[in-house]
Chain A
Amino acid sequence: MAGQLKDKEAYQRLNYLYQAAHCVLSQNPENVELARFYCFTQKTIARRLVLRQDPSVKRTLCKKCCSLLIPGVTATTRQRRKNRKTRFTVVKCLLCGQSKTLLNNPDYCLWVDRPEAQLQQQKQPDRGPSVKNQPKDSDPDKSASSTPSTSTAGT
């Protein structure tokens, strides 16, 4: 497919930008502006070329100000409850106050994971950005962000 080749470069670029934002933040946690700029560029490219990104990537970006959400550095992660039963993970961006509410249900399966058999061909580029984002200097914040039930030390 000719389209696949063209997309491959774009996906590599998105992946690089995502890694660069992590790299800048790991060097200097104060430098939020630069990381935000890279994520903003990433978002714009994805919008222009109509590329679908993995939910695991999208969940680490703030919807409002496009900054990278790392628990403890740029975001707070809390466990909340509604009517004593359903638990939620609330991720709040410290820069603009926008919060994400994610349901804590181990049985829940994402839409991306479900029709795997149908999307076998499109799966490989789709999975690229999320699987490969392991930069050399892997910072502990990132590995912590992958686990759904982390609570920051600020309690």
Chain B
Amino acid sequence: MEEALVRATIPKDLVKVLGVESQTRSKADAFTQAFLKNSIQQHSRHDLKNMLTHKAVILSYTRPKKEKKRSSKKAKGLNARQKRAMKIFDIKPEHQKYKLFLPLHDLWRQYIIDLCSGLKPSCNPQFVQQKLLKADFHGAIITVVRSKCPSYVGTTGILVQEFKHIFKIITKEDKLKVIPKRNSVFSVEINGFVSHIYGSKFEQRASERSAKKFKVRGTIDL
């Protein structure tokens, strides 16, 4: 009885009041799994197994440390080591399908069209390129056109993360690939416009690009 109540869809008259829509079964399942995983307490003891496999543990007596109580509620930033432990793009998303990233690409399409205030064939290519310099490329489909390393050429996929020297893309075969920016040319296609990105000039962080100015320096011959 109660089981059925939990799984019941929200009636239509309540949808308007609550502003909450019912999800499809698969999405609801994914949500429930994530919720359960997060709400069940996980002990730090479980890391012991992991620790023992990697390191030799030295058994010796240590004095119990006095823990200082910090009463301040201010958020302290993480240091680099903590970031390295947390921010790593773990393997689990690699298993997820390329299809899951298609909504991200659709969102990116809309964003670019919004940015260029309607991409019409009459648009000045120079104007579009200017906009794209400062734009965000997360979620774009990029292809490697030319590169010094021949094995990179022809790789296509949705850009997932952009770092200082590399692009991380996810290909149609559900594989995560890491491509360095240096000495390679990428092409981005937005309905009708195809613009090339010279990776050697783009060697900076995604956030820095919107703030810094680009300087004309030298040519790229590939």
Contacts and interface: CB of A to CB of B under 8 A. Distances in A.
Contacts of B217: none
B38 A16 contact: no
Contact of A44 (B108, B135, B207): B207
B78 interface: yes
Given A16-B108, A16-B111, A98-B75, A33 B93 contact: yes
Nearest to B23: A140
B interface majority secondary structure:
helix
Interface in B149-189: 160-161
Nearest to A42: B207
Interface residues of A, number: 52
B107 interface: yes
Interface residues of B, number: 51
Contacts of B161: 34, 37
A65 B103 contact: no
A9 B92 contact: no
Contacts of B100: 27-28
B138 interface: yes
A10 B35 contact: no
Interface in B43-84: 73, 75-78
B20 A140 contact: yes
Contacts of B136: 13, 16-17, 41
Contacts of A95: 86
B135 to A, nearest CB: 7
A45 interface: yes
A13 B75 contact: no
B145 interface: no
B157 to A, nearest CB: 15
B93 A10 contact: no
Contacts of B34: 29-30, 73
Interface of A: 9-10, 12-13, 16-17, 19-20, 23-24, 26-31, 33-34, 36-38, 40-41, 44-45, 48-49, 62-65, 72-74, 76, 94-96, 98-99, 101, 135-141, 143-144, 153-154
Which 3 residue pairs spanning A and B have beta carbons closest together? A63-B75, A29-B34, A44-B207
Interface of B: 18-21, 23, 27, 30-31, 33-35, 37-39, 73, 75-78, 86-90, 92-93, 96, 100-101, 103-104, 106-108, 111, 114-115, 131, 134-136, 138-139, 160-161, 205-208, 210-211
Given A30-B30, A31-B92, A41-B206, 9 more contacts: A10-B210, A17-B138, A20-B139, A30-B92, A37-B89, A40-B87, A44-B205, A45-B211, A49-B211
